[in-house]
Structures are given as C-alpha cells and as structure tokens.
Amino acid sequence: MPSPSPPPAPPVLPISEHEDEIVAAVDANPVVVVIGETGSGKSTQLSQILHRRGYTRRGAIAVTQPRRVAAVSVSRRVAQELGVPLGDEVGYAIRFEDRTSERTCIKYLTDGVLLRESLSNPDLKQYSVIILDEAHERSLNTDILLGLMKRLIKDRASDLKVLITSATLDGLKVSKFFSGCPVLNIPGTLFPVEKFYSAECPTNYIESSLRTAIDIHAKEAPGDVLIFMTGKDDIDKMVSKLEERIQNLEEGSCMDALVLPLHGSLPPELQVRVFAPAPPNCRRFIVATNVAETSLTVDGVVFVIDCGYVKQRQYNPSSGMYSLDVVQISRVQADQRAGRAGRTRPGKCYRLYPMSIYQKEFLEATVPEIQRSSLAGSVLYLKSLNLPDINILKFDFLDPPSRESLEDALRQLYLIDAIDENGQITDIGRVMAELPLEPSLSRTLIEANELGCLSPALTVAAILSAEITLRSTRSKDMEGKRKRQELPDGSGWGDHIQLLQIFESWDQTGYDPKWCSDHDLQVRGMKLSKDVRNQLCQIIQKVAKGPTGMHSRKSRKSDPDYRKLRRALCVGYGNQLAERMLHHNGYHTVGYRTQLVQVHPSSVLEGDEDGKFPMYVVYHELISTTRPFMRNICAVDQAWVLPILKKVEKLDVNRLSGGSSAPKDSEPLEDKHVNLPNKAVDVKQSEVD
Ligand code: ADP
C-alpha cells in the first residue's frame, strides 16, 4: 500500500484559536452549538481537537455531513492532516460505500448513514461524540437527527457529547430546542467584500456570468473566481464556453487561466483538483453548484459571481409530485456566497440581480428540506425505531412539516403494507426500514423475494437507487441516437424492464466497459450500479427471510414477459399507480389523490398495434416540468391493481395517524403554509446536487 503523502502544515484556522474554550464547553455540557463562518475549521478541526483531548478513548467521533461529496472530501483532508491512510483512524461512510475499519476513531458519514446505524444500534454506543455538521443546510435527515439526539442525550447524558455546528444557523433557536444549551460563536476572519448589483435580473444567467468572468480576467488583480451555477448541465456549458472565450480573448490577460467544475456528481479524482494550489501566474475559475456555498471551502477565491438561483427539488403532498425548479436563493445563501470572496483578502462579489430583488424578493432563509420533501421514508424510519410514546404527528421537530405532508406519508406507507390501518408498523415495514432504499423499492424487493424474482428486482433497484444517469452523453447526434437504438427496448413493458435488460446484456459481455461506451452508456454509472447491486444482495440476505434466486438468472429465461418482476413492482409502487384515459394515452393517478399525468418522453413504453398504451402502469417518480410527467414506468396487469384499489377504499387517515389517541383538534401541528421560494424558471435537468 502506498504510504500517505506527508501531512501539510497544520492550518491556523479560527477554530483552533478557541480550542480551550470549546473543550471546556464540551466537558461541561452534553450539547453544544458551535457557530462559525464557513472555512473557520468546524468540519476539519473540531473532530481533531476532541480526538487530541481524549474523547476517542471511550468511543469514536461521528461527524455527519448532509452531502456525500463533503463526507468524502473532508475525511480525506483530515486523514492527510493527521498523516494517516484514509480508512484507518480517519474514514468515511456514505450510502453504498464504507471506508472505515475497526481502528477508525474519527468517522465522517452522511446524516442518512447515521440514521441507518441507529436502527441496528439505537443508543449509538459506538460513539462518544456526535457532531451534526452543516446543520444550517437543514437537510431532512439532519432535522430528524436533531430530534433523535434530543431523546438520546436523555439516556446517555453521562457518556455522549453532541455538537451542532453551523455557519449561519440561528443558534438561539437550536439552543432553545436543546433546553438552552450553550452557543459558542467563533469569530471569523472575513475580509470586507464589496458587492456589485446588476441593474436587472439576467435573461440568460450563463451568458451574464460568462461576461462578468471574462471582465474580471481581463481587468482585475490576481485571485481566483468562484462562479455559482444551478446544476451540472449549466456547469458543463459554462466550463466549455469559458474555456473557449478565454482562449479567444483578444486583448488577453497577463495571467493564464484554469477552469474547474465542482459539483456532487464529479468523479473524486476531478473533485480534488479544486483543492490543489493554483499553478503560478494562473487564475482559477471554479464553476460550482451550491456545494461551494458552505459544504466545501476552496481557498484562494477573491471574486464571486452569484447568479442568484439554485436548483431545488420540491414535493407537493397534495399531488404527490416532485418539481425540480430553478428558484431564487435566500438572503442567507446570497450572503454565504458573497462571503466566499473574503477569506484571504478583501474581495468582490458580483450579484447578477438588483439590490431590490435581494431585499424584497429573496426569502430570509431557505425552506428546510423537511418542509419540501416526501416524508414516507422518514416516517417509516421513525416508526421502526420503536420509540416509546412516539406519535409521528407529535415528534419533536425543530421546524415541523405540515400535517398534510405527514398524512400523505402515512397513506403511502399503508398502501404498500408498511403500516397497518391503525398506523402500526408491520413486519414488512420493519424489513423495508432496514433496506437503504426508498420505500417503493424496498417493498418491491420484499415482494420479489416472495415471488422468486429477487435477482432481476435487485438489478432494477440498484440502478434506480445508485442515483446515476446511465446515458453517457444523451447526445442528439445521429451516432448517439444509433447507439441508443441498439439498446434493449423493455419488450413493451417499460423502463424498469429496459434497465434490467441493459444490465443483463452488459453482464453477458463480462461487464465489458467497451460495451457501455459502444452503447452511449456511462461506464462509471454502470459500474456503480453493479457495486450497489452486490451490496443490496448482501443486505437483503441479512434482513429478509430466506431470499431465493438471488444469483440465478433463470427467471429471466423462463419468464419472457417479466411477469413476476412486474407484479413485484406493482406491489412496491402500489402508491404510484396510474390508469389510462379511455380515449387517449393520457393517464390519471389512482389512489387517494387524482392527478392528470403523461408518460415522460424519455420512456421506452410504447403503444400496442392500435397505438394504445397499457391500461395500468406504475411509475417511479412524478415530476412537474413543462407538464406533469411520470418517469420510469412499468406496465402492470389489472388483476394486480384491484387489491390496491380495495385498500384505497379502506383508507382512513384518522386511524392511520393514531386514531382516538390523537384527535385532530389536539394536534400540535398547524396546517402550516410552507413558503416556497418563488420565481421558478425553466428546468431542463433532472438531477440536483
Ligand atoms: P468549515 O467547516 O468551518 O466550513 P472546514 O473545516 O471545512 O471549515 O475548512 C477549513 C479549511 O480546510 C479551509 O481552509 C479549507 O480550504 C480546508 N479544507 C477543507 N477540506 C479540504 C480538502 N478536502 N482539501 C484541502 N483543503 C481542505
């Protein structure tokens, strides 16, 4: 094994200057809130300080991150600073990837992984310290962890320390939530940042950012430029256009330029490039999503270009639909973005929107994810914890979700048998909660296990949950189209079956990467789904009763219409079912809410010889772009749908939510109006960071 690279000189970060104060507060209190500006050293130093001061003698230190990219990147940095190989004393665990060992005493993990760990080990006894980092991001899982920590600290007051860190969080609010725990404010060393506003909002923010970047390069003193874009597609466009314009710059600049993308789905070897020092006499342009707002701190930035937008996924419980909108950022986000320019010396921030928009239209803070997500997975998780006295509608949230959202989650869980009509978790629900998958996929696997078609179901679940795009380029040229046309077509049953067929064809080549590129498929994505499949295989072996046929591919050959798999999908997606209209190929969703929807143009599902689409389909996701669309669709038989319709008839949300023990009037939750950011603009991309 190669020896680790020599550790860089330890950074003198603001937090290091407050070591004694921090340790004294942690010694004396079970919960401490630490507020410090981004880059002050919260993520990289707090764990090291507590490790040095002996806190790892009784257990490990867990540091949660809402983003996978941050868990990986920060652990790598800490391992480097301590001069140890990653995975030894310092490691990370993200969904489907565990780089820790028995020796690991500083563990970076996503908040979702910590939640999962608490299922098998509710007291989290393996940890002496739990640091909920980046709490200001208000990710759904961090919010749930906040509630759980409040309970846990009562049982482990003597041997557990909880730290909650944030760059912007209203510390008093969290402190109040934790019965008035101390709040440590770490003063930052931010230099002044001059802000420039545009006279109008840009009609094309890529073009405006591009012009501003070129202007800076031609006229301004040395210093790197951080450009905020909304997603991977925009970043790719921006990077190639910027490189092109810099090359063609007539008057030129006296400096070289290096353009680097930064987003969550960047391969790790490309991510680390932004942390390497800039070559001499070279200005770096880092084109990033909001991952660079607070999660990752890139040194050397002096100029920031802020387009004022972010891509945000929002769930509407009344339609069951997700929309992925480019929305205005909040004032807190705008200030964070500007702050990135003042870390090393006075900086400049170019806001591509007028000051009046910042003041009057931007929300004060971003709406927490818990108020804009489907809660089925979280509610199932909480139910499976078997906490005494837990009524889901009364769970102690920092900011409660709406009642509508919680009821929607309960209905969904009931339709896929995870809870019974009284809202009690079922045996099926317990197994589902143990699988690191969204409820529809875990239910599909359990049913597939019963029906003897687990192997293909695992493949489909792996591909859908690896959160990757299989198509490599989506190139619209003839060549790209031809390559894709050679792919299997789902045999008329839809996208799940096509995904399965693609994977199986690849399997038959012995997982040949060339086969992927020959068919316009991302090799990395395909490999990842293979890894995820293997892991799911192991997990389900542990949690499900006697799974069968995991490795056998017999079902595929003897079952050409994929009947069993489609049936399992129908049960798993029992809450995501649609019926075709009588006279055309539009659909309406079936269940406790009805919504007109269409088949997404990317679907391989086709009509029969009369052009008619299947009468019933299940879908993986409902998204609202130009219109409401179902994405990833599978045809199912009417006979399988009938039991689901019967369940719909029996739905009684009062019983599901606790019946007489929780009469509606006495609920603490109001039907809160969730204030979503306004000004959605056109969205073309399907992935958020
Ligand atoms: P905070 O959590 O307060 O935002 P961090 O601990 O993340 O601060 O960052 C402190 C310093 O460590 C910054 O100067 C940052 O550039 C550096 N740093 C963090 N992660 C990495 C990394 N993966 N590689 C190199 N430097 C890093």
Question: Which is it for strands 106-110 and 90-94: parallel, antiparallel or unpaired?
Answer: parallel
Q: Which atom of ligand 1 is nearest to the CA of 41?
A: 6
Percent of the chain scoring above 90 in pLDDT:
60
- Residue 44 CA to ligand 1 centre (angstroms): 6
Q: How many residues does the chain have?
A: 689
- Indicate whether this complex's ipTM tops 0.90: yes
Q: How far is CA 168 from CA 46, 421, 490, 530, in A?
A: 17, 42, 48, 39
CA distance 655 to 226: 52
Instruction: For residue 13, report the distance from its CA to the centre of ligand 1, in Å.
Output: 9
H or E segment to which residue 351 belongs: strand 347-351
Token pair, residue 6, equals 């020599």
* Residue the block writes with tokens 């239209």: 361
Q: What pLDDT, in 10s, does the model give residues 647-687?
A: 999 888 888 887 533 333 333 333 333 333 333 333 222 22
Cα separation of 228 and 305, whole Å?
6
Q: Which of 425, 351, 349, 347 is nearest to 390 (CA)?
A: 425
The residues that bridge with 327 in the sheet, in sequence order, are 310
**Max CA distance (Å), the chain:** 77
The answer to whether residues 167 and 340 touch, using CB atoms and an 8 Å cutoff, is: no
How close is the Cα of 330 to the center of ligand 1, in Å? 24
Cβ contact 233:684 at 8 Å: yes
Backbone angles phi and psi of 544, in degrees to 5: -95, 155
Protein residue with least CA distance to atom 15, ligand 1: 297
Residue 226 CB neighbour total at 10 angstroms = 26
Give the phi and the psi of residue 427 in degrees, each rounded to 5. Answer: -60, -40
pLDDT at 251: 63
Q: Determine the pLDDT at residue 688.
A: 28
Contacts of 446 (CB under 8 A, 6+ apart): 428, 431, 432, 544, 572
Residue 73 CA: nearest ligand 1 atom is 23
For residue 222 the two structure tokens come to 């040395």
Question: What Å distances lie between residue 436 and 56, 144, 372, 444, CA to CA?
Answer: 28, 16, 21, 13
In this prediction, residue 610 carries a pLDDT of 79
CA of residue 370 to ligand 1 center, whole Å: 27
Q: To test the ligand 1 pocket, which listed residue (76, 77, 296) has its Cβ within 8 A of the most ligand atoms?
A: 77
Quickly list DSSP for 35-99.
EE-TTSSHHHHHHHHHHHTTTTSSSEEEEEESSHHHHHHHHHHHHHHHT--BTTTEEEEETTEEE
Residues in the chain, pLDDT under 70 = 1-11, 169, 250-253, 388-390, 467-485, 544-561, 659-689
Residue nearest to atom 7 of ligand 1 (CA): 43
Whole-number pLDDT of residue 249: 75
Q: Show the ligand 1 pocket: residues with CB < 6 angstroms.
A: 11, 13, 36, 38-45, 73-74, 76-77, 275, 297, 299
Question: What's the gap in Å between 295 CA and the centre of ligand 1?
Answer: 9
Rounded Cα gap, residues 543 and 545, in angstroms: 7
**pLDDT given at position 250:** 64
Which pair of structure tokens corresponds to residue 438?
């969204």
Distance between CA atoms of 214 and 244, rounded to whole angstroms? 11
What is the spatial distance between Cα 686 and Cα 689, in angstroms, rounded to a whole number?
A: 10
For residue 470, the model assigns a pLDDT of 58
| Ligand 1 center from residue 41 Cα (angstroms) | 6
| CB atoms near residue 102 (< 10 Å) | 6
In three-state secondary structure terms, 155 is helix
**SS3 of 358-422:** HHHHCCCCCCCHHHCCCCHHHHHHHHHCCCCCCCHHHCCCCCCCCHHHHHHHHHHHHHCCCECCC
Pocket probe mutation, ligand 1, options 15, 33, 44, max atoms within 8 Å of Cβ: 44
